[in-house]
Each structure stands twice: as C-alpha cells, then as structure tokens.
Amino acid sequence: MSVLIIGSMNLDYVYQVPHLALPGESLMATAMSTNAGGKGLNQALALARAGACVRHAGCIGEAGTVLRDLLANNGVDVSLVQEVDVPQGSAVIQVSSESAQNSIVVFGGSNRAFGKAQVMIVLDAALPTDRVVLQNEISCMDVILAECARRGLPVVFNPAPYSDDVANMDLSSVEWLIVNEVEAEQLTGTGDPDEAQAIVAKRWPKTNLVVTLGERGCVCFAAGERIYQPAFAVDAVDTTAAGDTFIGYFVAGLEEGLPVKDCLCLASQASALAVTRPGAAPSIPRRSELPAL
C-alpha cells in the first residue's frame, strides 16, 4: 500500500516570545525564524521519515518551491504538486518560552487555490491500494471527501483547523478520524473522548476515532475496542507539529500492518521526540531516532 496526502504547504514565520500575546498586548520576540510547515507537508514528512511510501498533492505559490524541494529531498513523490499564481500559504506562529505552547495564525494563499479540476486529476492518479490522508487547510475538502467515498478510497481525516462546514461533510469514506480534545468538542459537542466516540459511531458507524490528549496521551476507538496510550514524559520546547508527527507515524504504522496499539505507541514516541525540538518540519524525527527517547 501507499499513502496519498492531499494537503497544505506553508512557510512558517516563527517568533519566540516570553508568553503568548494577550489581546491588546505588544511583545518583543527573542528570536525569529522561517521554516517549512503546513499540516499536509508536516504529515507527509512524518510519513516519509517513518519509512512509508508517500505522494503529496497540493498547490504552491512562487515562494513555495523550497517546500516542494524539501519534500522531494525526504523521499516524497511531488509529481502531483502544482504551481499556481497565488501568494504562498503561510503561518505566523508564537512559541512561548514559559510553557512551550504555541499560537498560530494561518493564511491559506496557494493552499486555497486547490480546485475541482485538480481534485479529479489527483484522484484519477490514485492507486486502488492508496490510503488518502487529509487535513482541513486546503479548499474543496467536501469534493475530495465525496470523491473518495465514490471511488472507495479509505481516508484518514484530521479536520484541523476546524470549520463549521466539517459537520456537514460526507465522512462516510473516513476510515480514521483523528482529532484533539478541542476538535472533538467542536465536531461532536463534547470534549470527553468516550462521549465523542458514541456520537461519531452513531453518525459514521464505519469510522474509527483517535482523540489526542496532549501530555495525557491519547485514546483510540477501533473495532469495538478502547485503547489508551499514555504520553512519554519529555521536556517540551515547542509543541508545533506534534499532532502532525503523531498522525504521520500512526498512519505509517497502519501501512506496515502493525496492531493499532503499536501504531499508537509508535506515534506517541515520535510526537514526544518532536516537542523537544523547535520548529515544525525541522522537529519531525526520523524512525532511527526513536530508540533514543
């Protein structure tokens, strides 16, 4: 099997600050860097660095060639990445030196230029054995989901950043729904994983659910089983891309045919290692680094 990611690619402008800025507050940043990011790119890198066979589809602006090159240099097939005459998607990220938490403002740009024609081109190129991985940072998500359902392609969906139209999307093709506590509450009305699972099971009976809980680990509901995976204790520096790292490694485990509990453990190890490093894409570990944890 192989993985087809249809997702975003961003230039991240990262500012180190004493604490996340409050409304009306001006802060002096202690450092600034420009990195590769975007949920699609991060998850593609995590998959590739975990050893999976992955292709990435999406749109980049003129300034985005460096993002395409980064993916290619990490073994990702970028033949489905298209250049468009739209400003490159980007994000402004604050990272608190006190808590290691972040605050992110995303500008869609080229990521929102993904149209219906591109959807058909990309999915026509999909293999029958492909698993499609999606986030909610690109346009035409409802069309992509509906087409995946029509073609019988299994989907891993991370509905982040959450928008109100997600609840109205056709999620019947979603094999795995992966959310954090906030997204679980936005989608189902409750942040309690067990209550969220009951609602998801009623709406989309064939969909497995994973809810990540930050430093408290994660919980998974699949094939009638509830599996809890505790987090690995580390000294966090920057939580940016921790969730994307988790998803990439979790899907890589699925691709290898590992038991779900082992996929959760693998993903938790990788995301724990990622938060000990600054940045988004630069923080995502390679599979060979995990024993060091």
Choosing from 164, 238, 244, 262, the catalytic residue is 244
CA atoms in the 13 A half-sphere facing the CB of 47:
32
pLDDT of residue 100: 84
- What pLDDT score does 170 carry? 83
Residue 79's pLDDT is what?
97
- 154 phi and psi angles, rounded to 5 deg: -70, 145
Indicate the DSSP class of residue 137.
Answer: S
Q: Which two tokens stand for residue 170?
A: 């056709």
**CA pair distance 36, 147, nearest whole angstrom:** 29
Judge whether 170 counts as a catalytic residue.
no
Residue 33 CA to residue 77 CA, distance in Å, equals 27
Q: Which two tokens stand for residue 224?
A: 């009638």
Question: What pLDDT does residue 242 have?
Answer: 94
Q: What was the pLDDT predicted at 88?
A: 97
The list of the chain residues with pLDDT below 50 reads none
Number of helical (H) and strand (E) elements in the chain, helices listed first: 8, 13
pTM given for the model: 0.92
User: 165-220: per-residue pLDDT in tens?
Assistant: 898 898 988 999 999 999 999 999 998 999 999 999 999 999 999 999 999 999 99
In whole angstroms, give the CA distance from residue 252 to residue 257: 9
What contacts 186, CB < 8 A, 6 or more positions away? 162, 166
Among candidates 14, 58, 4, 42, which has minimal Cα distance to 246? 42
Closest Cα partner for 46 from 209, 293, 290, 212? 290
Residue 238's pLDDT is 85
The pLDDT value given to residue 51: 97
Q: Which domains does the chain have, with CATH numbers?
A: 2-10+37-88+109-292 (3.40.1190.20)
